Structure 1
Amino acid sequence: MFKPFLAVLAAVVISGCSTVPEEKQDERDPLQSFNRPVYDFNMDVLDKYILRPVTVSYVAVTPQPVRNSIVNFTTNLLTPTDAINAGLQGKPSSMGVNAARFLVNSTVGIFGLFDVASSLGLKHQDEDFGQTLGVWGLGDGAYIMLPAMGPSTVRNLTGDVIDNYVMPEIALSTPQTIAVFALKAIEARASLMAQEKLLEESLDPYIFVKDIYFQRQLYELHDGNPPLKEEPTDFDEDFLENL
């Protein structure tokens, strides 16, 4: 499903990105002349007319306990992926916690609908293949704004393909994988409702989102202890959590 996007991306790379004004050049973002229109499309079309209305309706008709169970269920389905990535990153403790979480929540938690593991002190260890590649020494690569998917980098796009398609396909059918992705996207959007004003009031929402994204990646790569001191920000942690 990434072939059409990659074809467009290749065309942009071949044509060059020299149209970006010099004062707005960012070495992390060599594809800015492509990324900005995609960002505008995501926000002004997809989010405004599809994702946000669907999310508002979903929140209005779905009781919070049901939503919690949906989040628990989708998180549990992907917990084996977290465990595998923890192992690949040389984190046996995180791998063991995620494996135990999956066992407990899939049984006592009724197929993951209830997060019993957290009440036992087994907190979810979020590990993805993008982080794995980072631990292995691979750099971020170019920043990419993906149609309908939001911000990413070359490294994390590769990781997302492995985490969200290759690994789940081992246990889930394609329709099930798509359903899980859609539910996660709606819940992520719902959690950002309270942060919309921050985005609207920023001088340049595109740069705002990009900077938050890179801060979040650094935070995750170093398990919440990044080596560089980050500038203080005004946004809520939930904004970072769902990028």
Structure 2
Amino acid sequence: MKSRFFLVSLLLLASAAFLPDAPAQNAPREVDPALADEMDEYAVIQVYDPLEKFNRGVFKFNDTVYNHVLRPVSRGYQRVVPAPARHGLSNFFSNLRFPIRFVSELLQGKFGRAGREAERFYVNTVAGLGGFIRISDDVPALANLPSEDLGQTFGVWGFHRGPYLVLPLLGPGTVRDAVGGVGDYFLNPMHWDPFKEVEGHRWYWDTALQTTDTVNSIPELLGIYDAERKAALDPYVGVRSAYIQYRDAAVKQ
């Protein structure tokens, strides 16, 4: 039973990072609706993709996993967990990732936005029951702040995105976002010791948090993935274009 739980958890944790959204390694966990709406499925995007043959093979593998593993998990989860609870969990985990956004904004020199980010975190944590209720949405100055991460920070600093790369389960990304994702991982409080040392069960607590975060985000991520996949004659090119457009827009924001 434990080995089965480990395998399922590992699969869910790894799949969390596919875009368009994640930690580990390739993409931001939070999708900005404003940026997503601006993506043009008909745009021709020049992408450095020297590993296209490899990437296409991995893309096909990932697509099979998404459809035959993640989609059933997503449907079952939505049947069991009511929408208000899912929304609250989404708010909680978004609030928990505050250090990633805050540090990235400071490194980009966006000190005013970093201040508002800190204020939003305080308001949602104190008045929003630990972040389950996003009180900041009712405060114009704190609502709809762009989500930042270290991959975007490197882009702001002028680093090229590097080769496009599709990894098993992790999905689309670039070298720049992969490196940034490593930093995001360590900035995420879920990986800090205080969140692991619960009655001595480090592994179980860490896995429970990350699995809940992953499963809760799957429905939204699959919806975005499906939309971009179906809009293109070549699904691989469609998802690649959508990912690059989204990340480029996030860097410029």
Report the TM-score when normalising by structure 1: 0.74
Q: Over the residues paired in the alignment, what is the CA RMSD in angstroms?
A: 2.3
Q: Is the 8 A contact 2:154 2:176 kept in 1?
A: yes
Check if 1:42 corresponds to 2:62: yes
Deviations 1:116-148 (CA, angstroms, capped at 9, x unpaired): 122122123300000001111111011111211
Q: Is the 8 A contact 2:55 2:166 kept in 1?
A: yes
Of 235, 240, 248, the residue aligned with 1:205 is 235
User: Quick one: which amino acid aligns to residue 28 of structure 1?
Assistant: Y
Q: Name the CA distance, whole Å, in 1 between partners of 2:208 and 2:156.
A: 30
Change (3 A) 1:104 1:163: same
Deviations 1:100-124 (CA, angstroms, capped at 9, x unpaired): 1111111111111110122122123
Give SS of 1:125's match.
Answer: coil
Of 71, 90, 93, the residue aligned with 1:52 is 71
User: Quick one: which amino acid aligns to residue 189 of structure 1?
Assistant: I
Of 110, 113, 125, the residue aligned with 2:146 is 125
Change (3 A) 1:179 1:36: farther
In the TM superposition, what are the counterparts of 1:27-106 in structure 2 within 5 Å?
A: 28-44=48-64, 46-106=65-125
Q: Structure 1 segments of 4 or more deviating over 4 A? A: 174-181
Check if 1:147 corresponds to 2:168: yes
Identity of aligned residues (%): 34
Check if 1:215 corresponds to 2:245: yes
Q: Name the CA distance, whole Å, in 2 between partners of 1:34 and 1:184.
A: 29
Deviations 1:196-234 (CA, angstroms, capped at 9, x unpaired): 3652463210010001111101110011xxxxxxxxxxx
**5+ unaligned residues in a row in structure 2: which ranges?**
1-9, 11-45, 197-201
Counterpart of 1:229 in structure 2 is none
Q: Name the CA distance, whole Å, in 1 between partners of 2:108 and 2:227.
A: 37
Q: Name the CA distance, whole Å, in 1 between partners of 2:136 and 2:225.
A: 29
**5+ unaligned residues in a row in structure 1: which ranges?**
2-25, 224-243
Q: Is the 8 A contact 1:35 1:144 kept in 2?
A: yes
Return the offset for 1:185.
3.7
Deviations 1:149-194 (CA, angstroms, capped at 9, x unpaired): 1110000011111112454334643755555544444344312437
Change (3 A) 1:214 1:113: same
Counterpart of 2:219 in structure 1 is 190
Moved more, 148-157 or 113-122: 113-122
Number of aligned positions between the proteins: 198
User: Quick one: which amino acid aligns to residue 190 of structure 1?
Assistant: P
Change (3 A) 1:156 1:195: closer
